[in-house]
Amino acid sequence: MTDRAAAPGLAAVRAPAAGRWLAWAGHVTPWVIAIIVFFTAGGYLSLGTNALIMILFAMSLDLALGYAGIVTLGQAAFFGIGAYAAGILAVNVTADPTAGLVFGTVVAALFGLFTGALILHTRGVTLLMMTLAILTLLFEVANQAGSLTGGDDGLHGIRMDRVLGLFRFDLWGKTAYLYTLVVLFGWFLVAWRVVRSPFGRSLDGIRQNPKRMRAIGTPVWWRLLAVYSLSAAMAGTAGALSAQTTQFVGLNTLGVFLSGIVAVMLVLGGTRRIYGAFVGAVIYVVVQDYASKINPYYWMFIVGAMLIAVVLFLESGLMSLVDAARQRIERALGGPGAR
Amino acid sequence: MSFGLTILLDGLAFGMILFLISVGLTITMGLMRVVNLAHGAFAMVGGYVAAVLTADGVNYFLAVLAGMIAAGIAGGVCEVTLYRPLYRKGELAQVLLTIGLAFVAIAALTLVFGTNYKTVALPDYLESPVDLGFRVYPAYRLFLIAVGLALAAVLWVVIDGSLFGARLRAAVDNRKMAISVGIDVNWLFTITFVGGSALAGLGGAIGAGMLPLEAFYPLRYLVLFLVVVIVGGEGSFKGSFLAALALGIIDTLGKYFLPEFAAFVLYSVVILLLLWRPHGLVPPKAVA
């Protein structure tokens, strides 16, 4: 039943057995792949870790932008603030990964709460401009506060203790990968639960018609603020993971380009379906690994072209192709989709 | 006193550049409700063309004119090929496509010209300072103020006084009604888009001394251009003129007195202002 919600517009109720089986296969596949990657990636494992972090980041954007319809280009602000918070904590206070993760998440969430309270009264272009302005301001702060953030050179010297005092971050990034995977899975469960809750449904309504939602008594502003903060927390976790696993934070984590990148990932995979973030982020990270070796600006060109192409030709993302395939399978299996 | 006047002049010069570049954006966002995040790219195209031509020894004004025309053509081509399919799509699609276009422009210019700053060489008489009585002031900035005022006047006459302007205002206020009474809004928009891009190109070319030209130009100043439009009130020419001058002066004040925190001063003022007047200084008629 959950899948109908993930893809509104799909043919109505499906045959119980075949449908449920396919749905379960769909749920298990990404995580099985993630575990297979762990055993087979070898030298590319750090790339895999990066992909997992980007999945989390894109998923955070899906909550705010996909579900709640908050058109933002400031998502990098939360990623960056989470990364800097975790990094600064590790350099100056404690090298415990869990503490850093929680700290980065909480700081980003509070920042989301604060800025959200300021800007979520507005809509449309004004809101977009506000998110950009806040991102620009943060960039300036990080740039000016060189003694704390390293300014233009980035934040170096992040050391990590064992995870939970047990697992040492090894040279091959095995711990980093599993650590990231577990955190991603935790957030995935939260996101999955949230978008299917009444709260998540009300976000759907707010995206489609905020006036009507207000008229039927939904506290629109509070709902938006809640999801914006949740999204910020999630992005903050992604940033903190990035700081901890790469042991470096650069100013580009607070750049508009990163906001653009995460939007590409999300839209490429498909908004409002959680797994869209998985598909988009993985494709993005893999392609980027090849392309940026040639020339970073060449890469920027591809990102831009991808954005344009997705908008013009594939608005509902790659996952819509998966939907189409699944419908076909179900039809072949003789479900009600056969009509 | 003379110090205050200097700040005022500096602020005005900066504000004029902001106005020139942003006025096209005001029109496109007000008229067609297209969130055009690639607007700065057209300003950059104008600037780069002028920079390359002046480096080859072409007359300054011819180079600026060429930059303006190039930006106008680029705007026209993009409007017909990329923006047209976008009008009926949602805000998100517009944001994504236009920011993508900005990325493409940045990457393309970097691949061709590298990451170095480009300068538009000024003729000698603009390079030299002028004695204003109370102090010696760069002729270049006076030139910016003069051009800005002249163009504001021309735009004023065109928009308030001409049939074209009347149609444009009608389409901004009520697009459906404008179409119903037989105004070809699509054609109007293409022309306006070309005009807005050309003005951006002009601003990028003559403003290169204040907003330095480099590959990341469209992103670096994007917020500034959006701020002018939104603080002014979407689709309001008077509003964006006032907003551009006010922001120019506020930014200059910030840079003089709190150089470390200039960006904070500017954006704090903007955020407070929008909390006070969410639809800008001169709100669009639909919400006024």
Quickly state the pLDDT bin for B288 (edges 50, 70, 90). very low
Q: What is the pLDDT of residue A334?
A: 67
A29-38 long-range CB contacts below 8 Å, 24 or more apart?
Answer: A30/A275, A30/A278, A31/A185, A34/A181, A38/A174, A38/A177, A38/A178, A38/A181
Does residue B274 surpass a pLDDT of 70?
Answer: yes
Does residue B169 surpass a pLDDT of 90?
Answer: no
Quickly state the pLDDT bin for B285 (edges 50, 70, 90). low
The pLDDT tens digits for A195-239 are 999 999 999 999 999 899 999 988 999 999 999 999 999 999 999
Write out chain B residues lying below 8 Å of A311, CB-based: 86, 89, 93, 96-97, 100
Task: Report how far residue B108's alpha carbon sits from residue A295's, in angstroms, rounded to the nearest whole number.
Answer: 12
Write out chain B residues lying below 8 Å of A122, CB-based: 274, 278
Instruction: Catalogue all structural domains in chain B, each as residue range(s) with its CATH number.
Output: 2-276 (1.10.3470)
Does residue B155 surpass a pLDDT of 70?
Answer: yes
- Closest-CA residue of B relative to A264 is B96
From the list B9, B280, B6, the residue with the least C-alpha distance to B144 is: B9
Does residue B111 surpass a pLDDT of 80?
Answer: yes
Q: Is A30 exposed, middle or buried (0-12, 13-18, 19+ CB in 10 A)?
A: middle
**Mutate which of B33, B44, B223, B267 to test chain A, going by most A C-beta atoms within 10 A?**
B223
Task: State in words which class domain A2-338 has.
Answer: mainly alpha
The pLDDT tens digits for B230-272 are 888 877 788 889 999 999 999 898 888 887 777 778 888 888 8
Minimal Cβ distance to A132: which of B91, B223, B274: B223
CB atoms within 10 A of CB B117: 11
Q: What is the pLDDT of residue A339?
A: 43
Write out chain B residues lying below 8 Å of A305, CB-based: 100, 104
A285 Cβ contact partners less than 8 Å away, ≥ 6 residues apart: A47, A50, A51, A54
Task: Report how far residue B156's alpha carbon sits from residue B170's, in angstroms, rounded to the nearest whole number.
Answer: 15
Q: What is the pLDDT of residue A193?
A: 94
Q: Which residue has the higher pLDDT, B288 or A24?
A: A24
- Closest-CA residue of A relative to B269 is A133
CA distance A73 to chain B (A): 9
CB B228 within 8 A of CB B148: no
The pLDDT tens digits for B78-107 are 998 988 888 778 888 888 899 899 999 999
pTM score over 0.95: no
For chain A, where are the E strands, in sequence order? Answer: none
For the four alpha carbons of B96, B101, B104 and B110, in that order, the dihedral sign comes to: negative
Q: 9-48 in B: which are within 8 Å (CB) of A?
A: 29, 35, 37
Task: Report how far residue B162's alpha carbon sits from residue B37's, in angstroms, rounded to the nearest whole number.
Answer: 29
Task: Report how far residue B189's alpha carbon sits from residue B4's, in angstroms, rounded to the nearest whole number.
Answer: 41
Q: What is the pLDDT of residue A240?
A: 96
Residue B226 to residue A129, Cβ atoms within 8 A? yes
Residue ranges of domains in chain A: 2-338
Minimal Cβ distance to B104: which of A121, A133, A301: A301
The average confidence (pLDDT) of chain B is 86
A211-220 long-range CB contacts below 8 Å, 24 or more apart?
Answer: none
In this prediction, the residues of chain A whose per-residue pLDDT falls under 50 are 1-12, 14, 337-339
Minimal Cβ distance to B267: which of A126, A137, A264: A137
Q: What is the DSSP letter of B138?
A: E
Average pLDDT in the B151-173 region?
Answer: 86
Is residue B93 within 8 angstroms of chain A, CB to CB?
yes
Lookup: tokens for B271: 């955020």
Q: How far is CA B91 from CA A70, A82, A206, A280, in A?
A: 10, 28, 15, 21
A248 Cβ contact partners less than 8 Å away, ≥ 6 residues apart: A87, A154, A155, A156, A158
Q: What is the pLDDT of residue B286?
A: 54
Is residue B222 within 8 angstroms of chain A, CB to CB?
yes
Residue B129's H or E segment, with its range, is: strand B129-131
Q: Assign B203 to helix, strand or coil.
A: helix
Does residue B172 surpass a pLDDT of 80?
Answer: no
Q: What is the pLDDT of residue B32?
A: 67
Q: What is the DSSP letter of A155?
A: B
Q: Which range has highest mean pLDDT (A253-267, A302-316, B59-73, B124-138)?
A: B59-73
Minimal Cβ distance to A307: which of B97, B229, B270: B97
Work out how many CB contacts closer than 8 A connect A with B: 124
Q: Is A164 exposed, middle or buried (0-12, 13-18, 19+ CB in 10 A)?
A: exposed
Q: What is the pLDDT of residue A281?
A: 93
B234 Cβ contact partners less than 8 Å away, ≥ 6 residues apart: A125, B26, B29, B30, B279, B280, B284
Task: Report how far residue B45's alpha carbon sits from residue B40's, in angstroms, rounded to the nearest whole number.
Answer: 9
CB atoms within 10 A of CB A204: 16
Residue B104 to residue A304, Cβ atoms within 8 A? yes
Q: What is the pLDDT of residue B156?
A: 86
Residue with tokens 């991808």: A306
Q: What is the pLDDT of residue B85?
A: 83
b/e map A251-263, b = 16+ CB within 10 Å: bebbbbbbbbbbb
Measured CB to CB, residues of chain A less than 8 Å from chain B are: 65, 69, 71, 73, 118-119, 121-122, 124-126, 128-130, 132-134, 136-137, 140, 144, 256-257, 260, 263-264, 267, 295, 297-301, 303-308, 310-312, 315
What is the total residue count of chain B? Answer: 288
Residue A300 to residue B93, Cβ atoms within 8 A? no
Does residue B287 surpass a pLDDT of 50?
Answer: no
Q: What is the pLDDT of residue A2?
A: 41
Minimal Cβ distance to B226: which of A132, A295, A315: A132
